[in-house]
């Protein structure tokens, strides 16, 4: 008699520079491979499906993957936190069999920047990318449709650094890093329309400054699990990554929130 399998969405954080990439098969130490090996070592099916395959070097506070298992979810979370280094598996949701982690309501990314003296001009320029556009010139092309909608762009500047928040249902490969790199290069040219004259951007901002903050879903609420000891370890890694422009406080505040992250 087959055991009954429950399906879960698991939300987790990780430090991008500690891995060889995200997708399985991407180097010896990819994030997906690390999760799969841990599950299989503990007698579970390693078939997982990720909501966002972040670029190499990109970090996350709230990425999501789905899996099925017959073990209690609290035990699964404990196994993952004990067995996958440099990740914190902090929240979960019970979902229906047909639930797909890629069918999200919203993704939220944050890009950290060193201080820009004329950040008002930068903010004005980067707002050109809000809304629906063909981002062919601002992504690494693959089979996907490059037309995407950025629902909101917000800028914050404080304590000697800045960060730009991007909100949208889906993004194409390198899109945010390309937008930031292009804006850094051209923000003094306020009349420049980035979507005319066949612009193909070659200025890609570094991956290490980009963080996937959260992914939200319609009608799905995540529950947190207590993992303070490992959170402290990962907090030290956040500190190491963002020490150059003192962004650590912003990241740690996000990790402490209980609003679905």
213 close to 110: Cβ distance less than 8 angstroms: yes
Instruction: Note the helical H segments in 84-199.
Output: 119-126, 175-186
| 55 counts as catalytic | yes
3-state helix, strand, coil in the chain (%, to 5): 30, 30, 40
| Structure tokens that stand for 173 in this block | 């490969």
| Structure tokens that stand for 80 in this block | 């993952």
| Structure tokens that stand for 155 in this block | 């800028």
92 close to 77: Cβ distance less than 8 angstroms: yes
72 close to 85: Cβ distance less than 8 angstroms: no
At which residue do the structure tokens 């005319």 appear?
A: 196
Q: How far apart are CA 22 and CA 36, in angstroms?
A: 12
Measured in degrees and rounded to the nearest 5, phi and psi for residue 12 equal -150, 160
Q: How far apart are CA 161 and CA 113, in angstroms?
A: 6
Catalytic residue among 28, 33, 45, 55: 55
Instruction: Note the helical H segments in the chain.
Output: 31-41, 73-83, 119-126, 175-186, 228-242, 248-256
Please check if 192 is assigned to a binding site. Answer: no
- Active-site annotation, residues: 55
Residues in binding site for substrate:
109
Binding residues: 109
């Amino acid at each position: 008699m087959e055991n009954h399998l429950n399906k879960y969405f698991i939300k987790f954080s990780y430090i991008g520079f500690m891995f060889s990439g995200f997708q399985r098969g991407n180097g010896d130490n990819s994030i997906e491979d690390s999760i799969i090996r841990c599950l299989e070592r503990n007698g579970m099916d390693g078939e997982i499906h990720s909501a966002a395959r972040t670029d190499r070097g990109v970090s996350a506070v709230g990425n999501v993957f789905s899996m099925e298992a017959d073990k209690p979810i609290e035990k699964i979370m404990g196994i993952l936190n004990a067995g996958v280094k440099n990740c914190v598996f902090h929240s979960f949701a019970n979902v229906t069999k047909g639930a797909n982690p890629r069918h999200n309501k919203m993704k939220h990314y944050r890009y950290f920047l060193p201080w820009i003296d004329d950040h008002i001009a930068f903010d004005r320029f980067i707002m050109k990318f809000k809304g629906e556009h063909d981002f062919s010139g601002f992504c690494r092309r693959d089979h996907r449709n490059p037309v995407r909608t950025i629902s909101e762009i917000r800028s914050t500047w404080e304590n000697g650094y800045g960060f730009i928040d991007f909100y949208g249902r889906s993004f194409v490969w390198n899109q945010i890093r390309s937008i930031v790199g292009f804006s850094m290069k051209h923000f003094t040219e306020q009349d420049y329309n980035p979507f005319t004259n066949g612009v193909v951007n070659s200025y890609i901002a570094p991956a290490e400054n980009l963080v996937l903050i959260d992914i939200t879903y319609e009608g799905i609420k995540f529950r947190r699990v207590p993992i303070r000891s490992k959170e402290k370890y990962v907090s030290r890694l956040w500190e190491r990554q963002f020490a150059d422009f003192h962004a650590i406080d912003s990241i740690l505040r996000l990790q402490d929130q209980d609003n679905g992250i």
